[in-house]
Amino acid sequence: MLFTEFDLAGSRLANRITMAPMTRSRTSQPGDVPNALMATYYQQRASAGLIISEGTPVSAVARGYSLTPGIYTQAQIEGWRLVTDAVHQKGGKIFTQLWHVGRRSHTDIAGEQPVAPSAIKQADKVYGPLADGGYGMVETSVPRAMTQTDIDQTVADFVQAAKNAIEAGFDGIELHGAHGYLLDQFMRKVSNQRQDQYGGSQQNRIRLTVDIINAVADAIGANKVAIRLSPLVGEGFSEVDSDIIDVTKLLLKEIAPLNLAYVHFSENIGEYTEATDHFRQEIRAIYPHTIMVAGKLTQESAQTLLTKGYADLVAFGTPYVTNPDLVERFKHNKPLAEFDADARLTLYGGNEVGYIDYPTAS
């Protein structure tokens, strides 16, 4: 089943193997503009049934990592067009992952104090500017609690970013609602201690996510909208929130009538809970539409998810760093190039080394 075609909301995918979103920090400066190097990187991996781009901030304040490509300026839109054209030339499909990091940022990256549901700092480090002029890991700043004006602007930013993505040639967009970033922060009690309509009850904590999904779907069509969630993973890859699984189920019930392009579950990173058959069956019952699963999958475990009907698409992250021809390696039982210590050193920043210089098996 890995190699069978799949109808993704009316768009034909060549197979069910997805390249998961991964930050690589290779943009052109100034302006964090996608470039020809990035176009080559994604084109090399276009045999995936679907590529999901690295996280793409919807505004300046949404940024949390230096050298990540935005989609809120005309130069960024034109840069992304290089990427989408390159992928489409090889017959591939590509969604962009729209991103707002919330409190997981630093003032020097966002250009202002980071914003979050509540003014609660998370002890975390992000990739940002150093005093010596280079880049490295820096401690996050204390965020400020978002006002209603901030929230309204954030919804508008996501809508405009989605429109920009379509202008840039993307086949659709994935909202980043996982891994302790803004939408996930609103859904979790540990990061959301608001007393207004966006905090407290489970219904209130999913309100912003639902509002953004509906607004973006109205703007570009629900069949071009997806969302990534991580209910089995701790917020910021730490302790799992006590009711996040129930909150996620409530969210899925709310959005099921929209029949989005897909719902993407990110699993098996940080402090996580193992997905059981019971969990997957519950999710299927609540959300009977297209489901994607990512999280340290192998060819065999991915095939099992498809065979059992728990997923329709399966996503691979780090294997795609070192194996641009991952689909072909799977299909012809070729060994995978290991994601080793050297690969980790070139994951963020730099040039073509450790980015577009990995050979194919042939």
Q: 């489901």: which residue's tokens?
A: 291
Task: Return the closest-CA partner of residue 191 out of 222, 149, 145, 251.
Answer: 145
Task: Return the closest-CA partner of residue 156 out of 59, 36, 265.
Answer: 59
C-alpha separations of 261 from 134, 279, 291, 315, 328 in Å: 39, 21, 9, 15, 25
Task: Return the closest-CA partner of residue 356 out of 38, 64, 109.
Answer: 38
Name the active-site residue from 181, 198, 262, 272. 181
On whether the CB atoms of residues 104 and 236 are closer than 8 A, the answer is yes
Task: Return the closest-CA partner of residue 44 out of 292, 319, 290, 356.
Answer: 356
Q: Kindly report the backbone phi and psi dihedral angles of residue 51, in degrees, each rounded to the nearest multiple of 5, phi listed first.
A: -105, 135
Q: Kindly give the pairing relationship between strand 94-99 and strand 172-176.
A: parallel
- What is the gyration radius of the CA atoms in the chain, in angstroms? 19
Task: Return the closest-CA partner of residue 23 out of 95, 99, 74, 109.
Answer: 99
Please, how many CA atoms are within 13 Å of residue 191, restricted to the half-sphere of its CB? 33
Q: Catalytic site residue 181?
A: yes
Just list the catalytic residues: 181
